[in-house]
Amino acid sequence: MVNHGFRLDIVGTADDGVVGHAVEVLDIAEVAALLAPGAAHPFTRAELAWAGARSDPERRLAARLAAKRAAARLLGGGVQPSEVEVVRAPGGPPSVRLSEKARERLAGLGAGRLLVTLTHGRDQAAAAVLLLRGGA
């Protein structure tokens, strides 16, 4: 059974280099409402273009929204999902581009990099985010 809107986040310091981690699961239908004319959404033009060029753009955007929310929660300090951009090089894994404010929060938490993984099914999408010590 899927727990709609499930969120898990932990920030701390562990010997394994993990500073914090979060998981976000959401209903894909939520993205349709965000993309309605006149609605505010946290997606960049590049994210919208990338998803729009593929099949099932709402599913792809939902997974990105999950990642943006999880990262923003972990970073705290007023960082908004719109300050987190999910990018992907051709054939590569997803990665995250952060605003200056979000990068400052990352460093302030003692982390040097952020890893993300995305997934989606028919009705839900999810993302897991890790904050890690050290550089890229």
Domain assignment present for 1: no
**What CATH number does the domain containing 111 carry?**
3.90.470.20
pTM, rounded to two decimals: 0.86
* pLDDT of the residue at 5: 46
Domain assignment present for 81: yes
Domain assignment present for 56: yes
* pLDDT of the residue at 17: 85
pLDDT digits (tens, 9 = 90+) for 111-120: 999 999 999 9
- Three-state SS across 53-92? CCCCHHHHHHHHHHHHHHHHHHHCCCCCHHHEEEEECCCC
Q: Which domain holds residue 77?
A: 7-132
Q: Does the structure show a pLDDT above 90 at 4?
A: no
Domain assignment present for 93: yes
Domain assignment present for 14: yes
What is the number of domains present in the chain? 1
